[in-house]
Amino acid sequence: MRVAAPKIREQLVTVLRAWGMSDAHADTTAAMMLETDLRGVDSHGISMLPTYDREFRAGRLNMRPLFKTLREGPAFALIDADASLGHPVSVHAMNVAVDKCQQSGVAVVSVVNSHHFGAAGCYSRIAADRGAIGMVTASTRGVTMVPTFGAEPVMGTNPLAFAAPTKRNSPFELDMATTTVAAGKVKVYKLNHKPLPAGWVVDDKNQTVTDPEQAFGYVFDKPEGGITPLGGAREVGGHKGYGLAVMVHILGGVLAGASFSPIRNRTQKPSDPHNIGHFFLAIDPGAFREDGQFETDLDQVIDTLHGAKRADAAQPVLVAGDPEMATRAERLRDGVPVPDDLLEQLRTVAKSANVPFVLGDR
């Protein structure tokens, strides 16, 4: 069914507050999760609430964190998230990076001891909305990606997001996993009982798996098999996706001191906080160009791409961010699609939190 955006926000806020989150952090988290759903990233929005519920009840989420700046200079900072959910600290960190870049031209803020933060693109967009170039990466807790020439998963989906401001067009916004598909997308296909495209998931013999139940098992339950790197097999560029994934972890994980592949390396107990790391880069275009020149030139780049000759007259050439903004407008108008299976899971979460379930009301 379709659920109106305000209803989704209301449900998120009531559950998060019931878990003990401050009003400010609950509002921020709900806003980021709703924005993720509006953009069509169904794997990282409200569908994550049952997972967060399990983490909260297992004692791995701190709902009343005190963020601590461990290191800081004019153009950098390292922030300890105090084992909190990643959304509030990520909004804070990206804004700190932009504040600093406005003084120094370029700034980096790293976050350690965090948890899942949703869609990376929501945070790079914060920079673009403030007139800066933003780049975001993050390490992961889940171990789902089978490296090139590997037989078992060792890395996560390791996201990379980038946004740049414009004058006339919507900001350029790239938000991608460094795997062929995000692990959460496999979950979405299972919730909707849809077969997966070939090449997304492989079994222990490196053979493609399209059955949604079997694919979910290889990604989330079994020690073998998993998701392919971006590009798939080496012959079609999978080694490049693998390389990008390692780069993302170096920036998002190693730089901050976050965990790497904890399940495989046995560096953490199941009860330990996830210790996910995030990386936020902000660049002030005004440090390199006269006021407005960067945005004007980027508009021209986007106009040229939009004006490229079409292979199909009915399908315009797009740039990164176009599909998400089109989906956002449609979902603000018509509501966010929520599968029946997910609705039942969310109903259970609301009941456990002792708050009203409002998603079934139009």
pLDDT in tens, 78-122: 999 999 999 999 999 999 999 999 999 999 999 999 999 999 999
With 0-12 / 13-18 / 19 or more C-beta atoms within 10 angstroms meaning exposed / middle / buried, residue 351 is: exposed
Tell me what pLDDT residue 187 has: 86
**Cα gap 209→343, rounded to integer Å:** 26
pLDDT for 236 beyond 90: no
Residues counted in the chain: 362
Strands 201-202 and 106-114 come out as unpaired
With beta carbons less than 8 A apart as the criterion, state whether 107 and 76 touch. Answer: yes
Per DSSP, the three-state class of 244 is helix
Please provide the average confidence, as pLDDT, over all residues in the chain: 93
Q: Phi-psi category of 260—alpha, beta or left, where left has phi over 0 and alpha has psi -120 to 50?
A: beta
- pLDDT value of residue 235: 84
Number of alpha carbons in the 13 Å side-chain half-sphere of residue 30 = 20
| pLDDT tens track for 145-195 | 999 888 788 888 899 999 999 999 999 999 999 999 888 889 889 988 999
The pLDDT of residue 15 = 98
Integer Cα distance of 199 and 237 in angstroms: 13
Report percent pLDDT > 90 for the chain: 81
**Single pTM value for the model:** 0.93
Which of 72-86, 226-240, 328-342 bottoms out in mean pLDDT, i.e. has the lowest?
226-240
- Helical spans, DSSP H, in 19-141: 23-38, 49-57, 86-104, 121-129
Is residue 126 packed enough to be buried (19+ CB in 10 Å), middle (13-18) or exposed (0-12)?
buried
The helix/strand/coil state of 316 is: coil
State how far the Cα of 53 lies from the Cα of 13, in Å rounded to an integer.
13
pLDDT band for position 362 (cuts 50, 70, 90): very low
How open is the CA angle 182-258-142, to the nearest 5 degrees?
30
